[in-house]
Structure 1
Amino acid sequence: MTFTVAARTLLHLGSELISSDGIAFYELIKNGLDALRDLDGPQVVKAKAKPIRPVKLDIVCRVDFSTYEHVLRGLGVWSSVTLGSTEDLGPDDEDMEEENDDDPVQGWRELRSVLVENLDESAPGSAEFLAALKQVSNADELSEIVLEANYIEVIDEGVGMSFAELGDVFLKIGTTSRVRQRDRERIQGSASARPILGEKGLGRLSAMRLGDRLSVKTGREADARWNLLNVDWMMFAAAGDAALNTISVEPALGLHKEIANLHGTTIRISALKSGWTYDKLEAMAASEFAKLADPFDAAGALPIKVTFNSRNVPIPKFSDFIFSHAHGVLNARFFISKKGNPILRGQAEYRLRKRTRSFRLRGIDLASITDSASKTTLKRVGPFKLEVYWFNRRLLSKIDGIGDLKQVRALIERWGGGVMVFRDGFRVHPYGGPEDDWLDLDRDAFSTSGFKVNRGQIVGKVDITHEGNPFLVDQTNREGLRDSPEKAAFVSMIASIMDKQFRQFLNSVDADIKQADKLTLTEVTSRVDSEDLKITETLKKLAAALPKTKEAAALSQDLKASVDAIKQLNLQVRATAETYDRERMRVIHLAGVGLMVEVLAHELWRATASSLRTITAARSALDPSSITRSLAVLDAQMRTLQKRLKTLDPLSTNARQVKENFDVVEWVRTVVTTFTEQARRENIRYVVTSIPPNGRLPIEAVKGMYVQVIENLLINSAYWIEQQKKYTGVFEGQVEVVVDCNRKTISVMDNGPGIPADRREVIFEPFFSTKPKKEGRGLGLYISKEIAEYHGGRLYLSPEPDRDGQLRKFIYEIEASGEADE
């Protein structure tokens, strides 16, 4: 026994795999282009190649679709049009019985008259069609003529198919002939400037999407006759549960060629399933055909000629002239270095502000933004290039050579809509389509001020190849790339570039130019809301984990009071901002206050989450003393946070914070010891030393703020060490904290991946982060720097690189010397 396939399965296969008319045309056109490629040979180079003969797409409609549908239903013809769907077809289908209740023979003359009255006399073959109508003598003859009234032809003058190939290749669904051809050319070293486009052997099912009948006329140059094949897809529906091999479809020899050496293929599709008009085809030419090949490449325009009733349908050509008027540009390239390391490098340019920023992400950075993708996965993604142009639609204006504002906006709307993907210069659907937001650009844009880099503002593309990206495989239904670790990493990298390297760069430049606070109030309050949710959840877990003591209960109450205070402050900021907005006043001051609220919310969550992890780890280790130390650290931070809350009344001046005397060396040891107990399971070694050994550094300061600085730096080191472990495998992390009592500095360094020199300053900007969104907000280093400056000190990344050129040492000058950059 073995599996058998019902004949009707073929119809389901076609309807599922070919999801739109645009994709159906694309598959048929690709087959024609492959045939032309076979004729010219694989070694064609674009710059020197002779002009490629076009693939012709002709649609002929001699009768409008409403008339066509009316007549078919009146005749009781069993087709996809009359039944509306092939979902549940069979020879005893109840719908068919209802269609046959009325005798069509009695009314066929009236239906013929309807056809004559609605005939488009300008359509090709209309005179012959009219003459045939007049010769009709019964309903069956009329039915046959109506089914052939309108048709689609895809014509190529390529190499053609022999009689044997028509049966062995064309009739074999899922044939691997193109895959074998590609492998053969690769082995032979015959690299091609024109790649093979088809490979899954499913293109002929595209014809099923468009119409119920298929006719193929093909031949090679050496063939004396044309080779013919006719298929009526409704036969497979009528077969019901009969096996697929019971439906006989045989090639046949046709007439002798008019000219001996003619070659090529004509595919005619009739019994069409939907109506076609010039306007509909023109819209498809603009939205689909114009983007089948890379529109950015002037030499890569597809050789396609489209007509409707012999009337030429123009395919819009893209002019890169519009690029010179873009307000922002992003270029990036992902590649594997000579040493085998994945690297993503690029540049963001804000032309409107005359600013640029270059970026270079290495393997560890890439593993972080791709949810810990392994080095192997990143290498298997393969090289790609990203090119994006951003237009601020509010600043668009008339452009000489393009037209007025309306025309400029229409041009951007036509070619924009997201980032398209092209493989070997040919479109991968549906990326960058009107309904596709594969990079979540709109969601990310509309969640920030200015709505920058939403799909309506950008024209962009990603280039990949069959050879370079074999693990980025098209889905069989042509609806994007198949899910895989490589696809996930590919999408994550591009999404991260668009957000963190482009959108955030544009926003930060605007903030600098306007000399305004770095965030609008709306952004801040929404972020505070997010922090509040995290704090509430963490507090519940912390309350359950705390020991049942009077001190712990008091601390829990302090935490709750702080959360309530932050909520009240956020409400005050919102209420005052609404008043300001009504008066159309700027809210710069309030945005600054709001940012401070978010900073506190972030720190409160960080402190409680850190303490929860520490207490949980200590409990599992049955070490009560470590719980006591954790509570001491948390208590110090809480007292600091509560005091800072008092400074945030937007209507009063800042209150002073109470400082206290303590030894920096001893306090740093306490903080680090607390941290090591929760990170011991992560195989990270923490070392605290002082200069001189056993030295002391007594100071007067806000004690809890030192916790915030040190813990933020330790958390940062732990995260990147963990990424290094995931990326490279076995790895023992080490974090060293050195308190120099003579220089009055605290240094934190680790053996993680380090930081590139070009990021030395930008890492301290608020919300800048190369971590994935779920891992960090980009506030930790910004907060730590602000705390250092509050105490008259300075926090910076040492400019002295290690042997690999990376920076790994953060220095906190307790009393700023102003020599950090020397």
Structure 2
Amino acid sequence: MTTTLEFRQGKEIFRPRARLISVLGEQLIKDATIGLLELVKNGYDADADNVVVKLLNIKFDPKNKSETEKEKALQNMTVIVEDDGCGMDLDTVLNRWLEPATGHKEEAKEKDQRTPKGRLPLGEKGVGRFAAHKLGHRLTLISRFGDEHGQLSDAEVEVIINWDDFDAIDAYLSNVGVDYREREPEYFKNQSGTVLIMEHARSFWKEGDVSRISRTLRRLMSPFRSPKSFSIKLLCPDYPNYEDLDPGEILETAHARMTALVDENGIASYEYSFNVRPFNKRVAKSSEVDLRKGISNWIPANRKSECGGFFVTCYFWDRDREILGLTNVSLPDLNQLNGVSVFRDGIRVMPYGDPDDDWLQIDSLRFLQTSDAISRKNIVGALEIDQRTNKQLKDKSNREGFIENQAFLDLRDLMRALIRIVQNEFAQDRRKIREQQKAKRREMLPAVKQLEDSIEKISAEIKKVTTMASAFVKDGKITYEVATEITDSLTQTRQEIQNAVEETRQAAADTLTVFDEEREMLLTLAGLGLAAERFTHEFSRLTREATILIKQIESSSEVRGLTVIIERVKALSSTLDALQDLVLALGPMFYVRRKTQEQELDVFTMVEQALLLNQGQIKINKIHVEKIEPDGKLNVHMRRSGLIQVFNNLIDNSCYWLSREPEKNGRRLKITILANEAAVIVADNGSGISPQDQHRIFDPFFTNKVDGRGLGLFIAKESLLEAESTITLIQNGETQYTFNKGAAFRIQFSHERVSED
């Protein structure tokens, strides 16, 4: 018997279970801090002037308490968020508030529809109200509408939601009702506004939770450009010390400050100022700085940013205790505010700037740099955007920052480029402070010696007074008892002063001893670290170049013949020699051997081999290279790998900065060997080196590349110094062998190192 199968078809709708509300509340709102922040932002969207957050009956230690006591304590815990905004009438409650994801806020932003106070809504997903679910089992919402002219509605609306009703396993969302009613105004009798009362906490509050909420609310509004007519107040009777949300005067104690305006093309205008007494104030300004050029992964280099323009204000502190004392810095206040936060329309975007959020990778990159590198603890900063010009920066649904699209990546890279600039500036000023500290320490012992000499004089005078007192007793001018009291007092005073001076002298000596020991240890570690850093800087590049050369040998042996192979093998040999020296530079930790031996070198050949190492960059970036020998051959006596490393670093730098220039301008690199002067000039027509940077380009770790190490020119200088030779930056137009723009370097060999033809 054959069974006929009947296939069904039709159309159905989703039937979400009621517990979807709980799922949304748990998943979309990370914690109570985020929940409260969302509710405060709703007050901003409602054009409120004031928002008050109340945390009531939250202090309870559940340790050694019965389950009944714990449950009763949770039921008594209450969170209230009240604003004096425009409020809602019944239609708004039913057709918007009870309809999540209506999209009316997103539509208002797209059409640039502002509130009467000129605000664009901060929310857009329409799910922020589930924050109330996170904060308690029961919600009471009371609201009264008022228009921009102050006309109030006749009734206020009350909505009561028991979130536990939505947790029933078999209940569908459409079957769970929400109680509402209109009534005569009771709560808002003379004004409009909305209050949310969230009762019966889901978990116990701790003092740390209150501290975190206080810190978050304190930082919610930009300390530099806060929204007009908008303030937040925190009331917590159980922990009143967290109620003060005033950021205080911490910004006035900053050691340095930077403001910057970055346009949609990534071009920055900035001003940096350093102002710590008794040091001289220093100001550095620059306009039309193309931040994109220092970002290696910004391709093409002239690509317009996706994030749009933004404004930055940053304050910086050197956290050395002695230096902090110069401006009376409050470390607790600084620790509350440090980090770089993002503010949209004056309201903070979480979690950027939180203690555990290193969104700019400042701390992680700091470990790859010198001690002059700043950390998040050194900064209080605000990156200001607005919804009208930064539309591509969109919130994640869970309110934990922006979607990490290209706009966000561009924003992060441009901000990191700005941080690199200010780090270079601040490092210069911090070194100035350190130098004075060292000088002061060296002055301590002479000062103590001078104090000892003064005490000797005082002791001599005390002896004279004692002698005079004895004479007065003999003459009957004073009694023996008075004289004894005077001399005993003076003797005791002299001894106390001598003891104090001895303690001061010993403390000063101990301090200097410790300082010298620590300095010696740090110098030793720094030397080893610098050698290791130098090794890591060069190792990856040189091994990569060696690999490329080997592949080229394999692919071209039958095509180009033996001559090409020999040249590439020579370049490969030089690369491996450089690697050997870098390993040996790590010193006694590994083995003690001499570096590769010095030999007579044809400079032109060394240049060609360095160009061969960089031929990939030269070819990809279409760089035109000129090699000139107007005076004939120049031979010098030094390490082969060291000289190639010098040229390799210079050419690598030129290739990078030329790659950041438009191809249509013509990318040119010129290397001129001046045998009569025992010199080489390496010049390019790239963006050049700004005047404020020229004095520090040979310092270790100085760089304008966002992901650079700042070791290339330092290594070149050290390698030449080993051969009693020098490298200097020369100005454009200084000789006929430079361009009208770009960077140019002169390598001057010691004449004693030059070989006669």
TM, length-normalised to structure 1: 0.67
Q: Structure 1 CA distance, aligned partners of 2:432 and 2:633? A: 40
Q: Is the 8 A contact 1:158 1:263 kept in 2?
A: yes
Q: Is the 8 A contact 1:365 1:770 kept in 2?
A: no
Measured against aligned partners, the alpha-carbon deviations of 1:384-431 in whole angstroms (never above 9, x if no partner) come to 30313224152267799x8xx9xx332223333x22222222121122
Please show how residues 617-766 of structure 1 align to structure 2 within 5 Å.
617-622=552-557, 623=560, 624-635=562-573, 660-669=599-608, 671-672=610-611, 674-675=612-613, 678-679=616-617, 681-692=619-630, 695-702=631-638, 704=640, 705-724=642-661, 733-766=667-700
Match of 1:322 in 2: 250
Note the C-alpha offset of 1:703: 5.9
Q: Is the 8 A contact 2:685 2:742 kept in 1?
A: no
Match of 2:88 in 1: 161
Please show how residues 48-447 of structure 1 align to structure 2 within 5 Å.
52=49, 54-61=50-57, 151-185=78-112, 194-221=119-146, 222-238=152-168, 240=169, 242-249=171-178, 251-255=180-184, 262-275=191-204, 283=211, 286-296=214-224, 302-308=230-236, 315-318=243-246, 321-326=249-254, 328-336=255-263, 340=265, 342-343=267-268, 345-347=270-272, 349=274, 351=276, 354=280, 356=282, 358=284, 365-369=291-295, 371-372=297-298, 375-376=302-303, 378=305, 380-395=307-322, 408-416=330-338, 418-445=339-366
Instruction: Compare 679-688 and 252-261 and name the one that shifted more.
Output: 252-261
Matched position secondary structure for 1:198: coil
Match of 1:797 in 2: 729
Match of 1:121 in 2: none
Matched position secondary structure for 1:422: strand
Match of 2:405 in 1: 484
Q: Is the 8 A contact 2:22 2:167 kept in 1?
A: yes
Measured against aligned partners, the alpha-carbon deviations of 1:127-185 in whole angstroms (never above 9, x if no partner) come to xxxxxxxxxxxxxxxxxxx96x5543323332221221111111111232223334444
Unpaired runs of 5+ residues, structure 2, are 1-10, 147-151, 439-513, 752-757
Matched position secondary structure for 1:206: helix
Measured against aligned partners, the alpha-carbon deviations of 1:438-465 in whole angstroms (never above 9, x if no partner) come to 3344444566675964444443332222
Match of 1:613 in 2: 548
Note the C-alpha offset of 1:235: 1.8
1:23 equivalenced with 2:19 (yes/no): no
Match of 1:466 in 2: 387
- 2:565 maps to a residue whose letter is I
Note the C-alpha offset of 1:599: 4.7
Q: Is the 8 A contact 2:224 2:313 kept in 1?
A: no
Q: Is the 8 A contact 1:14 1:205 kept in 2?
A: yes
Residues 632 and 453 of structure 1, relative CA distance in 2, 3 Å threshold: closer
Q: Structure 2 CA distance, aligned partners of 1:646 and 1:478? A: 52
Unpaired runs of 5+ residues, structure 1, are 38-51, 75-80, 83-114, 119-145, 518-579, 817-822
Matched position secondary structure for 2:200: strand
Instruction: Compare 501-510 and 763-772 and name the one that shifted more.
Output: 501-510
Q: Structure 2 CA distance, aligned partners of 1:63 and 1:12? A: 28
Residues 676 and 305 of structure 1, relative CA distance in 2, 3 Å threshold: closer
Q: Structure 2 CA distance, aligned partners of 1:752 and 1:174? A: 51
Q: Structure 1 CA distance, aligned partners of 2:212 and 2:179? A: 34
Residues 769 and 621 of structure 1, relative CA distance in 2, 3 Å threshold: farther
- 1:152 maps to a residue whose letter is V
Residues 656 and 317 of structure 1, relative CA distance in 2, 3 Å threshold: closer
- 1:235 maps to a residue whose letter is D
Instruction: Compare 15-24 and 194-203 and name the one that shifted more.
Output: 194-203
Q: Is the 8 A contact 2:668 2:685 kept in 1?
A: yes
Note the C-alpha offset of 1:729: 7.9
Q: Structure 2 CA distance, aligned partners of 1:62 and 1:332? A: 41
Note the C-alpha offset of 1:696: 1.2
Match of 2:449 in 1: none
Note the C-alpha offset of 1:711: 1.7
Q: Is the 8 A contact 1:617 1:677 kept in 2?
A: no
Matched position secondary structure for 1:477: coil
Note the C-alpha offset of 1:603: 5.3
Q: Structure 2 CA distance, aligned partners of 1:396 and 1:712? A: 37
Q: Is the 8 A contact 2:52 2:82 kept in 1?
A: yes
Q: Structure 2 CA distance, aligned partners of 1:70 and 1:766? A: 63
Q: Is the 8 A contact 1:58 1:307 kept in 2?
A: yes
Instruction: Compare 162-171 and 779-788 and name the one that shifted more.
Output: 779-788
TM, length-normalised to structure 2: 0.72
Q: Is the 8 A contact 2:141 2:195 kept in 1?
A: yes
Please show how residues 538-553 of structure 1 align to structure 2 within 5 Å.
none
Q: Structure 2 CA distance, aligned partners of 1:637 and 1:63? A: 67
Note the C-alpha offset of 1:434: 3.0
Residues 625 and 361 of structure 1, relative CA distance in 2, 3 Å threshold: farther
Q: Is the 8 A contact 2:89 2:143 kept in 1?
A: yes
Q: Structure 1 CA distance, aligned partners of 2:437 and 2:544? A: 32
Aligned alpha-carbon RMSD (Å): 4.7
Note the C-alpha offset of 1:490: 2.2
Note the C-alpha offset of 1:11: 1.0
Match of 2:21 in 1: 10
Instruction: Compare 204-213 and 483-492 and name the one that shifted more.
Output: 483-492
Q: Structure 1 CA distance, aligned partners of 2:167 and 2:587? A: 75
Q: Is the 8 A contact 1:225 1:257 kept in 2?
A: no
Q: Structure 2 CA distance, aligned partners of 1:785 and 1:746? A: 14
Residues 676 and 259 of structure 1, relative CA distance in 2, 3 Å threshold: closer
Match of 1:783 in 2: 715
Q: Structure 2 CA distance, aligned partners of 1:676 and 1:275? A: 63
Note the C-alpha offset of 1:616: 1.8
Q: Structure 2 CA distance, aligned partners of 1:676 and 1:647? A: 24
Measured against aligned partners, the alpha-carbon deviations of 1:41-60 in whole angstroms (never above 9, x if no partner) come to xxxxxxxxxxx4x2233444
Matched position secondary structure for 2:383: strand
Measured against aligned partners, the alpha-carbon deviations of 1:739-789 in whole angstroms (never above 9, x if no partner) come to 34455442333344443343333222222223343xx43222222233344
- 1:246 maps to a residue whose letter is N
Q: Structure 2 CA distance, aligned partners of 1:648 and 1:273? A: 58
Note the C-alpha offset of 1:514: 4.1
- 1:715 maps to a residue whose letter is D
